[in-house]
Amino acid sequence: MGKENEFYTRLENKGVTRRDFMKFCTLLTATMGLSSSFIPKVAEVFAAPKQRPSVVWLHFGECTGCSEAMIRTMYPWTDELVLDILSVDYHEIIMAAAGQQAEEVLQSTIKKNAGEFICVVEGAIATANNGIYGKVGNRTFLEIAKDVCPKAKAVICQGTCSCFGGVQAAKPNPGGYKSVSEVLGIKTLNIPGCPPNPLNLIGTIVNYILLGKLPELDNLGRPLFAYGKTIHDQCPRRSHFENDEFVLEFGSQEAIMGFCLYKLGCRGPETYNNCPTAKFNGGTSWPIQAGHPCIGCSQPGFWDEMSPFYKEM
């Protein structure tokens, strides 16, 4: 109980009420597809962490948007919650160490926690000319991935780039960028999106800590709780897509949301993600709600197969 009280006092000192925190846990529990009876258990994972798995967070070819989305997430304090439940031992963006010192941290972490740490990867890996088009600390992404990933207990790909290649692998792809699973020939847990919703990674980690296992995945390695349905299946603009003669009721969800964006090139019918329910920025909005068609950012083949954008499929 002492630990929990300390946690809530810490939150209060940041101006976060217990109510705000429980609201977040309710959203997270629903996103994870668990019943509401799990809300107190989810809260406990953060408030009284029993174990803090070691995490090595690698950055390859990418825009860092995935980390930015997590750090500047909907609730400004969520990133700290993640740092509370994980022991993030290596993460180039947030760690204090730099240069040689940082590389030593990486080596000592993978040695000390071999077979036990979780490796989160952002970004695709350059493979052309032995991978010389992407380096960190004088080692190619390719060398780093080959060194670190096989020693991890699980490899979680955060963002479309590490999952499927993403924008780095778009034609003509002179660097020969590929996804982590393609390069290493391993199965990765994939959380696609450019950027992915931070809730989907947090839900995956909480699932692991709470239930002792990774969530159920589809054939592309994506957690079913987040990627089990298409955007279109959950879209509030959908009624217009299926019935041209739909009459708007003043103040109805449809009237607020507006019409279907299919003719503007919406890729919602072929894109699997939970954007309509999880939304971004603390549940404020998501692309289609904001009036922009889905561009299929979380699908394999994004970017080439989804572009030209704004053209009907």
Instruction: Give me the DSSP letters along 14-33.
Output: TT--HHHHHHHHHHHHHHTT
Q: Which stretch binds ligand FSX (CB under 6 A): 36-44, 60-68, 131-139, 211-219?
A: 60-68
Find out whether 273 and 298 touch, Cβ atoms under 8 Å: yes
195-214: contacts with ligand FSX (CB under 6 A): 195
When asked if residue 190 is in the footprint of ligand FSX (CB under 6 A), the reply is no
# residues contacting ligand F3S (CB under 6 A): 12
Binding mask 61-100 toward ligand FSX (x if CB under 6 A, else -) reads -xxxxx----------------------------------
Binding mask 274-303 toward ligand F3S (x if CB under 6 A, else -) reads -x----------xxx-----xx-xx-----
CA distance 283 to 75: 10
For ligand FSX, the closer CB: 124 or 261: 124
Q: Which residue is nearest to ligand SF4 (CB)?
A: 268
CA distance 7 to 2: 9
Locate 210 and state its tokens. Answer: 């709470």
Instruction: Give me the DSSP letters along 280-300.
Output: BTTTTB-TTTTT-----TTST
CA distance 272 to 192: 9
Locate 180 and state its tokens. Answer: 């982590």
Query: From the list ligand SF4, ligand F3S, ligand FSX, none, which binds 260 (C-beta under 5 to 8 Å, kind-based)?
Result: ligand SF4
Q: How far is the CB of 243 from ligand F3S (least distance, A)?
A: 22
Instruction: Give me the DSSP letters along 181-215.
Output: HHHHT---EEE-SSSPPHHHHHHHHHHHHHHSSPP
CA distance 150 to 146: 7
When asked if residue 226 is in the footprint of ligand F3S (CB under 6 A), the reply is no
Among 166, 221, 223, 276, binds ligand FSX (CB under 6 A): 166
When asked if residue 273 is in the footprint of ligand F3S (CB under 6 A), the reply is yes
Binding mask 191-220 toward ligand F3S (x if CB under 6 A, else -) reads --x---------------------------
**Interacting residue ranges for ligand SF4, rule: CB under 6 A:** 231-232, 235, 237-238, 241, 260-262, 266, 268-269, 288, 294
Query: From the list ligand FSX, ligand SF4, ligand F3S, none, which binds 275 (C-beta under 5 to 8 Å, kind-based)?
Result: ligand F3S
For ligand FSX, the closer CB: 63 or 154: 63
The residues, ordered by sequence, that sit 6+ positions from 233 with a Cβ below 8 Å of its Cβ are none
Q: How far is the CB of 83 from ligand F3S (least distance, A)?
A: 25
Q: Is 64 left (phi over 0), alpha (psi -120 to 50) or beta?
A: left
Query: Coil, helix or strand for 124?
Result: strand
CA distance 152 to 54: 10
When asked if residue 69 is in the footprint of ligand F3S (CB under 6 A), the reply is no
Site residues for ligand FSX per CB under 6 A = 62-66, 122-123, 159-161, 166-167, 194-195
